[in-house]
Amino acid sequence: MTSRQRYRRAFRAAVEAYIASKVSRKLQDKPEQPGPLQSSSSIAETLQPEDGKVPAVSEDDSSHALPQEDLLQEDEKVSTAEAANRLSAALASYSKQIQNEERPGPDTELQSARRKRDSELESARRKMKKAMQIVEEGGISHALCRSLLCEVLDWEVGITESDLQNNLAFDATEIKVDVEKAGPLEQYEETNVEFTFDGWRFRVVHLDKGLGYSIDDKPSHYSGTINLHFNDDLVLSMDIIRYAETWNPSYWGCSRVTALDPGDWMRVLLRISAKIDSYKRQQRERSNLDLDNDVLEAASRINLPDDMKNI
C-alpha cells in the first residue's frame, strides 16, 4: 500500500467517523421508532447532511477500500468533538501529502538559468568592486565628493564668475546653477551645476534624499546620488552618503559606483580638485593668521608689570 493510499484510508475513516457522530446525535434527539434494525451504512445514507454532499474521497480501485475493522460498527459511539479532531488531523495529513506530491521536481532548464544568473551576478559584483577601487584609490571620489561638490554647493542660483570674484576656487567660466524639486512626491532637492574649465564642459547633478534613520529611529545619515557629465556624456554616477554627526555638511563619501566610463575627464577632474584643495588650504592659513593677529593685538592692549609678564 502506498503512502497516498494510507493517507486516503485515514482520511475516509475520519470522515465516516464524523458522519456517524452526527447520525448518533440525530438518533439521540429522536424518539425510537419500531422497525427493522438498520446497518450503520444505511443510516449514514439516509441521514446525510442537508446539502446531500458527503465529504468522502471516492476510489474506483477496490484495493483502496477500507478493511472491515476500520469501519464504524453500529454499537460504536464517537462524540462529535472527537470525530472533528480526527477529521481535522486527517485533512492536515492529506494536505501535507498533496503538497509533497505537487512539489515540482528538478528542472534542469531552470537550474541552468540560475547557474548562469549566479555567474553573471558574481561577475557584476567583481566589476562594481573594481570600479569602487578605481574611484577610491585613484582619488576620483575625493575629487568629486569632497572637493568639487563641496565647492559648487556654495554657488547660488543665477551666480556668475564675476559675482564670485576672488572667492572662486578654480578657473570656472560659463557658470549655470539650477535647483529644483525631485522625486515622486517632490520630496527631494536636486542641484544642477554647469561650468566650463580649460575648454571642457562639466555638469554636476546632485540629488539630496535627506536624512535617514537608524533601527532605533535616530537620525544617522544623509543619502543621495551624484552624476558627473563631461561634454554632455555621463561618465560617473555614484550613490553617496554622509553621517549626521559630520561637522561639514558638504563632506559626502561614495557608497557605491553605479556608472563609470574612464577617460580624459579623470585627469581634468583631478586638476580641478587640486586647485580647490589648494585654495581651501590657503583660506585656512589666512584664517589662522587672522586669529594669530587677533591674539597679538589683544595682548598689546594688556598692561602688566614687568615682573608679571613671564609668570
Radius of gyration of the chain from its Cα atoms, rounded to whole angstroms:
41
Ranked by mean pLDDT, the top range of 55-59, 71-75, 178-182, 285-289 is 178-182
Strand partners, 268: none
Q: Look up residue 149 and give its three cell numbers.
A: 561638490
Higher pLDDT, 54 or 87: 87
Domain range list for the chain: 3-100, 131-292
Distance from C-alpha of 222 to C-alpha of 249, rounded to nearest angstrom:
9
Distance from C-alpha of 52 to C-alpha of 24, rounded to nearest angstrom:
18
CB contact at 8 A, 177 and 188? no
Burial environment of residue 28 by CB neighbours within 10 A (0 to 12, 13 to 18, 19 or more): exposed
**pTM of the predicted structure, to 2 decimals:** 0.58
Length of the chain: 311
Specify the DSSP class assigned to residue 252.
-
Predicted confidence (pLDDT) per residue in 72-125, tens digit: 444 444 567 777 787 788 888 888 888 877 776 666 777 788 888 898 999 999
219 pLDDT band (50/70/90 cuts)?
A: low
Burial environment of residue 146 by CB neighbours within 10 A (0 to 12, 13 to 18, 19 or more): buried
Residue range 206-220: mean pLDDT, rounded: 73
